[in-house]
Chains A and B, each alone.
Chain A
Amino acid sequence: MRAGAAGRHVALRPAPAMSEDRVIRRPVLAAHARYRWDKLRDQHQLVFPEGMIVLNDSAAAIVQLCDGRPTDELIAALVAKLKEPIPASELSDDVQGCLRHLVERGLLRDDAE
């Protein structure tokens, strides 16, 4: 196979400029991205062709709910999981920030668009 096959190169993929106030309404994980728990490393991972990112606990919880449901419902589901519930409005910015980051990396899309 061609030599590009295994991430031998550094690829140039600038994050597209995305405005801070963009709101993601129906996040769906990209078809080529898969969440996985790595038991050897004790890590949440989001794996995609030739790469992977390590997720913290909250990002992992978010990613696992990105199935096309509206973001409001996603946040409600997160709140329901918390031991000490906080108002959904307090989570909203953090969730949107995380979703935007994943969209920028091509790992998530907004089904509402």
Chain B
Amino acid sequence: MTTLNRPLALLAELTYRCPLQCPYCSNPLELGRYRQELDTETWIRVLGEASELGVVQIHFSGGEPLVRRDIYDLVREARRLELYSNMSTGATVVDGTTLDRLREAGLDHLQVSLLDTDPDSNDRLAGTRSFDRKREAVRGAKERGFPVTLNVVLHRQNLDRIEDVIRIALEWNVDRLELANTQYTGWAFRNRAALMPTRAQFEHAQAVVERARSGEAARLDILHVLPDYYQELPKACLQGWGNVFMNVAPDGAVLPCQTAREITGLEFPNVRDQSLQAIWTDAPVFQRFRGTDWLPEPCRSCDRREVDFGGCRCQAFLMTGDAGATDPVCHLSPHHHLVGEALKEAERSDPPLQYRVMSV
């Protein structure tokens, strides 16, 4: 029997609109299909339902959450409900007034993405000039006392500048640095061969991060997310499907994982029709891979099944065509050879990046 937890975290994707075009964006490929955004009133209701359901953290994201005019009202409501609020922003639409208003509304924490430490490379990867704005946004946020995390998604094109990433995080005086190697779903799966780092790159980066942690960057809280194609064991994706996390997409669809739309054949309930409570408890899509009863072999008889829940469902689907398969990253998966093949292909080729389309 699987006991049903209360969810801890809600990812509120307010919009897929975004001035940037990151080639690893986790938004769906068919962005144009989801233009009908929820209105303010519905989001306010969703926040209330989330709080009643036991959610502790709200993560406002997108797209660029700051293109929503009602963002301050939503942050204020989260604060009123005593939820911890995070916001991820590309920071191109941030100025002093934005930051003052976010502060006043009670936002707890700001995450600013940086694509590369080299301004030209950052701007090329983002598809738009944004480096200077990001720097200004971080400066303004720190002046106002915001805790700031700098998020850098790592991949082949920027991994060799890992030393600079740490230097910039220190110079910009952020509190936390999140170094996340690309997870190959969404746009990143499409760009896998162009983004996959080499083993040498990744090992170098790991050594640099370790050294910095015990040296000059000891005061920085560094989160380093390893590239799982180079691991033998999969990640406990979201600590299990339908276990602690839910994602409300801009159109109101409720997803057990922010990239679950990639899995064909799943039906997603919508907050326009049902309460979050009903969705969390009863929606078939949340029950589908909840707990460990559904697991196939080799997971079924593996003693790590309560640790990693068989890994990432989206990755399993994208690589094997079966969302219910063991994550191919696992060395015990019958599909594990696909990982080696993808790495080889990435070593051989250097295809151009494809950028996400749909701006503000």
Q: Which residues of A contact B (CB under 8 A)?
A: 1-14, 16-17, 30-32, 34, 36, 38, 40-41, 45, 47-50, 52, 106
Q: List 6 A-B contacts (CB under 8 A).
A: A1-B25, A6-B11, A12-B226, A13-B222, A32-B109, A48-B84
Contact of A5 among B26, B188, B214 (CB under 8 A): B26
Q: Are B186 and A3 interface neighbours, CB within 8 A?
A: yes
A49-B109 in contact given A3-B258, A36-B84 (Cβ < 8 Å):
yes
Chain A nearest CB: distance from B169 CB in Å?
A: 14
CA distance A13 to B228 in the complex (A): 16
B103 on the interface (CB 8 Å rule)? no
Task: Please give me the residue from chain A that is nearest to B24 by CB atom.
Answer: A2
Contact of A1 among B6, B27, B52, B238 (CB under 8 A): B27
Which segment, of B144-152, B160-168, B270-278, B343-351, faces chain A? B144-152
B221 on the interface (CB 8 Å rule)? yes
Chain A nearest CB: distance from B326 CB in Å?
A: 17
Chain A nearest CB: distance from B144 CB in Å?
A: 11
B111 on the interface (CB 8 Å rule)? yes
A5-B84 in contact given A10-B236, A16-B213, A49-B111 (Cβ < 8 Å):
no
A9-B147 in contact given A16-B218, A52-B8 (Cβ < 8 Å):
no
Contact of A34 among B8, B84, B312 (CB under 8 A): B84
A16-B56 in contact given A11-B223, A32-B175, A36-B82 (Cβ < 8 Å):
no
Q: Are A40 and B9 interface neighbours, CB within 8 A?
A: no
For the A-B complex, the count of residue pairs with Cβ-Cβ distances under 8 Å equals 134
Q: Are B59 and A6 interface neighbours, CB within 8 A?
A: yes
**What string of 1s and 0s marks CB contacts (under 8 Å) between B171-199 and chain A?**
00001101010110110100000000000
Of B109, B145, B224, most buried by chain A (CB within 10 Å of CB) is B109
**What string of 1s and 0s marks CB contacts (under 8 Å) between B38-76 and chain A?**
000000000000001010110101110000000000000
Chain B residue numbers with a CB within 8 Å of A14 are 213
B77 on the interface (CB 8 Å rule)? no
Chain A residue numbers with a CB within 8 Å of B88 are 1-2, 5
Contact of A4 among B145, B175, B178, B237 (CB under 8 A): B178
Chain A nearest CB: distance from B17 CB in Å?
A: 12
Chain B residue numbers with a CB within 8 Å of A17 are 214
Contact of A49 among B22, B62, B86 (CB under 8 A): B86
Q: Are A1 and B214 interface neighbours, CB within 8 A?
A: no
CA distance A7 to B225 in the complex (A): 10
CA distance A10 to B235 in the complex (A): 6
Q: Are A3 and B183 interface neighbours, CB within 8 A?
A: yes
Chain B nearest CB: distance from A3 CB in Å?
A: 4
CA distance A4 to B104 in the complex (A): 27
Contact of A2 among B82, B153, B213, B222 (CB under 8 A): B153
Chain B nearest CB: distance from A34 CB in Å?
A: 6
Task: Please give me the residue from chain A that is nearest to B257 by CB atom.
Answer: A8
Chain A residue numbers with a CB within 8 Å of B257 are 8
CA distance A8 to B88 in the complex (A): 15
Q: Are A8 and B237 interface neighbours, CB within 8 A?
A: yes
CA distance A30 to B247 in the complex (A): 27
B287 on the interface (CB 8 Å rule)? no
By Cβ-Cβ distance, the 6 closest A-B pairs, closest first, are A4-B180, A32-B147, A106-B221, A31-B147, A3-B26, A3-B183
Q: Are A7 and B238 interface neighbours, CB within 8 A?
A: yes
Contact of B224 among A1, A12, A30, A34 (CB under 8 A): A12
Q: Are A36 and B185 interface neighbours, CB within 8 A?
A: no
Q: Are A32 and B26 interface neighbours, CB within 8 A?
A: no
Contact of B84 among A12, A13, A41, A47 (CB under 8 A): A47
Q: Are B26 and A1 interface neighbours, CB within 8 A?
A: yes
Chain B residue numbers with a CB within 8 Å of A50 are 9, 57, 59, 86
B327 on the interface (CB 8 Å rule)? no
Chain B nearest CB: distance from A58 CB in Å?
A: 21
Q: Are B54 and A40 interface neighbours, CB within 8 A?
A: yes
Task: Please give me the residue from chain A that is nearest to B153 by CB atom.
Answer: A2
Chain B residue numbers with a CB within 8 Å of A30 are 147, 175, 221
